[in-house]
Amino acid sequence: MSLQFDPNTLPGDGLDIQGSLPPSFFDLAENDQARPVTPLEYNLHVSKDEDGELFVTGEVSATFELHCGRCLEPFQLRIEQTDFAHQIPMENGTPDLTNLLREDILLALPTYPRCETGNVTPRECPAEGRFDSPTEPSGDEAPDASGKNTWEALDQLTNLKKN
Ligand SMILES: [Zn+2]
């Protein structure tokens, strides 16, 4: 499965290519934390500059099912790259856009998915606030807060020694 074209047939004002690639295009493992649930849709413009270098710009999108890192429930996230822009690597004369599309979308997936960021079916994370008690720092602030507390504790120890 690939998306190739012949640069020799590229018109002077460029080439518009659009279509879709099935979810299997992403070639993700069954146990991967992200599962594509729609085809990848692309709407691209390929152009050539004076130096003969090829560029592709446009939009790519696909919807994934992810699992929330907080409540562990599945949710859907639509990735839309509206400013897709790449120089096309020349490989044996027939550039293949497949990897560019695949990587651009996959790199846009969140490392720490949160279901409240889902943009297909808006929802509140049922686990939101569960850890936000005064005695337990919330997930995002934990490293800073604990680091600060450690330093404060050290300061107090130093002060005690001085006294
Ligand atoms: Zn959640």
Neighbours of ion ligand 1 (CB under 5 A): 68, 70-71, 115, 125
Number of domains in the chain: 2
Does residue 1 lie in a domain region?
no
**146 C-alpha vs ligand 1 centroid, how far in Å?**
24
Looking at the fold, whether 55 and 109 belong to one and the same domain comes out as yes
Looking at the fold, whether 123 and 73 belong to one and the same domain comes out as yes
**59 C-alpha vs ligand 1 centroid, how far in Å?**
28
**100 C-alpha vs ligand 1 centroid, how far in Å?**
30
Looking at the fold, whether 126 and 140 belong to one and the same domain comes out as no
Contact 46, 52 (CB under 8 A): no
Question: What per-residue confidence (pLDDT) applies to 151?
Answer: 60
Interval 60-96: pLDDT, tens:
999 999 999 999 999 999 999 999 999 887 666 677 7
Looking at the fold, whether 99 and 144 belong to one and the same domain comes out as no
Q: Give the residue carrying structure tokens 């649930």.
A: 37
Question: What per-residue confidence (pLDDT) applies to 44?
Answer: 95
Does residue 21 lie in a domain region?
yes
Interval 29-38: pLDDT, tens:
877 889 999 9
**137 C-alpha vs ligand 1 centroid, how far in Å?**
18
Q: Which domain holds residue 147?
A: 136-163
Looking at the fold, whether 122 and 154 belong to one and the same domain comes out as no
The per-residue DSSP string of 87-125 comes to EPPPSTT--B-HHHHHHHHHHTS-SS--GGG-SSS----
What's the whole-number mean pLDDT along residues 32-58? 90
